[in-house]
């Protein structure tokens, strides 16, 4: 490389093509895979042309003029459809993943029976938690970020300390079949983040006291596997099941409030309009730094922050719930007040396996085995656009958890 550049400079000086030298440099840069910066006498950078730089320095053109070149790092902005990082460590399939409330850490559950904690700032493994004896199907961070719950196919639930990676308390047992979903009580309802709800293939929902390590309530009413459980910000529990229904429960006493019917097949997944603010608790992304810090403050301060954020996102209207089913449809509900759906959303040509609200609740995304992701209005359920996947399944979800497959997709917007 140095020899080739020396020959090029020799040609430029002997032919006295000073004004054209920058064009030659530019061509040489394009030929190289690296980006280069050039400095006359090692101090003045060549910005426009070598001739103008020599003239500005006032040096004699008949003398030997040293030009130093330095390789520069290449920073390329990659499309969001492409993989930007790979975290390696699990020896079997990764079944469940969850970001911490601050987004600083990532937890993953795998078929290798371990739970791993990752530092996303350095993209390195933090801890490997061992204790399960079967596939880790579901994981959930407490809203204060101080605990992680994981459920496995052996119907056991473990609690972990993210700081040390060690198990907290005893293993929670009681379900007779595998765990399908885990959800914590919102921070603004209980700043201690003491209670955890779990759903299972056995058709029941259990509410656990994670401090005492015992089951506080058992909610029965579904006749088949419970596929999802959500703990709402108004003190209600929402559950979906393969019995084609969605049920609403009062969390404080376990009383069933109402049953939402309309789906013609299994209900696979649920999403609350307030999911994001409930998951992040007192953490405010708008004031976060590049390297988010763990939440600090008294329990009352954290509770007040979380409550303010919740009311800001929720607004004056009650929480909205959306359900996705094997019947290819979605239903938008106002579950706290009405049994009838606000909207029935059709368009997918295969089962719906995942639904999510945007953090501001204005948009709703649904993923399906028809290899597409559809965007809907989060308030009315009106169809907006689709993202089509050329091959493979965009997001898969089922009894063994949720997996995301990477690939390149193409946007297709309909008027």
Tens-level pLDDT at each residue, the chain (415 residues):
444 444 444 444 444 444 444 444 444 444 444 567 788 776 778 888 878 887 887 777 777 878 887 776 555 555 666 777 789 999 999 999 999 998 889 999 999 999 999 998 888 899 999 999 999 999 999 999 999 999 999 999 999 999 999 999 999 999 999 999 999 999 999 999 999 999 999 999 999 999 999 999 999 999 999 999 999 999 999 999 999 999 999 999 999 999 999 999 999 999 999 999 999 998 888 777 766 667 777 889 999 999 999 999 998 889 999 999 999 999 999 998 899 999 999 999 999 999 999 999 999 999 999 999 999 999 999 999 998 765 444 343 333 333 333 222 333 333 3
Q: Helix axis angle, 21-31 relative to 50-57, nearest 10°?
A: 130
Model confidence, pTM: 0.74
In the chain, residues under CATH classification 2.130.10.10 are 94-283+299-413
pLDDT at 137: 96
pLDDT at 25: 47
What 3 state SS string does the chain have?
Answer: CHHHHHHHHHHHHHHCCCCCHHHHHHHHHHHCCCEEEEEECCCEECCCCHHHHHHHHCCCCCCCCCEEEEEECCCCCCCCCCCCCCCCCCCCCEEEEEECCCCCEEEEEECCCEEEEEECCCCEEEEEEECCCCCEEEEEECCCCCCEEEEECCCCEEEECCCCCCECCCCECCCCCCEEEEEECCCCCCCCCCEEEEEECCCCEEEEECCCCEEEEEECCCCCCEEEEEECCCCEEEEEECCCEEEEEECCCCCEEEEEECCCCCEEEEEECCHHHHHHCCCCHHHCCCCCCCCCCCHHHHHHHHHHHHHHHHCCCCCCEEEEECCCCEEEECCCCCCCCCEEECCCCCCEEEEEECCCCCEEEEEECCCEEEEEECCCCCEEEEEECCCCCCEEEECCEEEECCCCCEEEECC
- Which CATH fold topology does 94-283+299-413 show? Methylamine Dehydrogenase; Chain H (2.130.10)
């Amino acid at each position: 490389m140095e020899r080739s550049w020396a020959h090029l400079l020799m040609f430029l000086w002997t032919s006295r093509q000073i004004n054209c030298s920058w064009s030659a440099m530019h061509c040489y840069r394009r030929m190289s895979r690296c980006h280069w910066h050039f400095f006359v006498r090692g101090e003045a950078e060549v910005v426009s042309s070598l001739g103008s730089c020599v003239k500005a320095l006032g040096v004699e053109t008949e003398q030997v003029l040293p030009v130093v070149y330095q390789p520069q790092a290449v920073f390329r902005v990659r499309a969001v459809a492409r993989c930007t990082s790979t975290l390696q460590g699990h020896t079997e399939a990764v079944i469940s993943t969850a970001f911490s409330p601050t987004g600083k850490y990532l937890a993953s559950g795998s078929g290798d029976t371990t739970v791993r904690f990752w530092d996303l700032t350095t993209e390195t493994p933090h801890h490997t938690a061992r204790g399960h004896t079967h596939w880790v199907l579901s994981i959930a961070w407490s809203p204060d970020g101080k605990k992680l719950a994981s459920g496995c196919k052996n119907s056991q639930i473990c609690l972990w300390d993210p700081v040390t990676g060690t198990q907290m308390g005893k293993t929670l047992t009681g379900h007779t079949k595998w765990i399908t979903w885990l959800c914590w009580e919102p921070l603004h309802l209980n700043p201690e983040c003491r209670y955890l709800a779990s759903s299972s293939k056995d058709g029941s929902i259990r509410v656990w006291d994670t401090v005492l390590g015992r089951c506080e309530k058992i909610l029965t009413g579904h006749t088949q596997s419970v596929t999802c459980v959500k703990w709402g910000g108004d003190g209600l529990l929402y559950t979906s099941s393969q019995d084609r229904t969605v049920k609403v429960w009062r969390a404080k006493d376990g009383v069933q409030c109402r049953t939402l019917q309309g789906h013609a097949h299994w209900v696979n997944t649920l999403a609350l309009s307030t999911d994001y603010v409930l998951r992040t608790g007192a953490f405010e992304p708008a004031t976060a730094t590049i390297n988010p810090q763990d939440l600090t403050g008294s329990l009352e301060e954290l509770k007040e922050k979380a409550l303010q954020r919740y009311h800001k996102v929720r607004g004056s209207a009650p929480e909205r719930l959306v359900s996705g089913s094997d019947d290819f449809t979605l239903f938008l509900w106002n579950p706290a007040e009405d049994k009838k759906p606000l909207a029935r959303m059709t368009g997918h040509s295969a089962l719906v396996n995942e639904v999510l609200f945007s953090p501001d609740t204005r948009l709703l995304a649904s993923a399906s085995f028809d290899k597409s992701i559809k965007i809907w209005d989060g308030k009315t359920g009106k169809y907006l656009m689709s993202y089509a996947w050329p091959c493979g399944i965009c997001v898969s979800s089922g009894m063994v958890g949720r997996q995301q497959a990477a690939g390149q997709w193409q946007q297709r917007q309909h008027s």
